[in-house]
Amino acid sequence: MSIQFADLARRVAEDGQVSAEELFSLRQLGWGDGKIYREAAEAIFAINRALKQPASEWVDFFVEAIGECMLNVSEPRGRCSDDEASWLIGAIDDDGKVDSMVEIELLARVIERAQNVPEFFKDYVLRQVEREIMTGVGPARCGGELSATQISAAECRILRRVIFASGGHDPAAVTRKDAEMPFHLKDAAMQDENSSLWDELFVDGVANYLKGFQLQNA
C-alpha cells in the first residue's frame, strides 16, 4: 500500500464521507499494479465503517475492491482459501454482527464469483441471515417494519444467491444442509406474512436438493 493511499484513506475515514474525486483517487492508488492487497483492503474497511451514508458508487467500489483482494491476489486465482475467508469474516464481524447491506452484498458476491469457498464461510453467511430473520434485527429488515420471523424480500434474494451460488458446497446445487435451513425458517415464520419471494425460494430449494439426491442415488 502506497503512502499516498494510506494518507488518503486515513483522511476519508476521519471525515466520515468520501467525495467523487477521493473515490477516483482511491481507485487509482489502490489498484496501482492491478491488485488490491490485504493492507489496502483493511484501510478500505476502515473507511466503510466510518461512512455515515455510503453512496452507490462507494458500495460498488467497496464490493469490487474487497472481492478482488479475496479472489484475485493469491494463487490459485478465483478460489477463496480458509485464511482469506477467516480474514473477511473477522473484518465484517469485528463487532459481532453484519452491520449493513453493503457487507451482506460483499459476502454474497464473493460466494457468487468464487470457484469455491470454505464450507464454514457459506455457513456463516446463511447463519447471519437466519439470525436476522429470527430476531427481527438486521440491515435487511425494511427499516424495522417487519416482525421477528417475518421473511423480507431482501432476505429472500440474499438466501437465493448464497444457496444457489457456484462457489457453495456444490456448484449450483442445494445440499441437505442448505435445504434444512429453509425448513427451519418455514416452521418459525409460518404465522407471518412473508415476502411473496419466500414460497418460490422454498420450493426451488427443496426441489433442487431432491433432484440432486435422486441423481446421486439412481
pLDDT digits (tens, 9 = 90+) for 173-206: 677 777 777 777 777 776 667 888 888 888 888 7
Q: Which helix (H) or strand (E) holds 154?
A: helix 153-163
**Does position 172 have pLDDT exceeding 60, yes or no?**
no
Query: pLDDT-based confidence at 167, cuts 50/70/90?
Result: low
pLDDT at 116: 86
Query: pLDDT-based confidence at 153, cuts 50/70/90?
Result: confident
Cell 475492491 maps to which residue? Answer: 65
CB neighbour list of residue 85: distance below 8 Å, 6 or more residues apart: 117, 118, 120, 121
pLDDT at 96: 62
CA angle 38, 44, 47 (to 5 degrees): 150
Using the CB atoms, write b or e for 42-66: b if 16+ within 10 Å. Answer: ebbbebbbebeebeeebbebbbebb
pLDDT digits (tens, 9 = 90+) for 53-72: 888 899 999 999 999 999 98
Provide mean pLDDT across the span 3-16.
Answer: 90
d(CA 48, CA 65): 12
Give me the residue spans of the domains in the chain: 117-218
Q: 126 with 175: CB under 8 angstroms?
A: no
List the grid coordinates of 62: 467497496
pLDDT digits (tens, 9 = 90+) for 12-28: 999 889 999 999 999 98
pLDDT digits (tens, 9 = 90+) for 104-151: 889 989 998 998 899 899 888 888 888 877 776 666 655 555 556 678
CB neighbour list of residue 215: distance below 8 Å, 6 or more residues apart: none
- Global confidence as pTM: 0.80
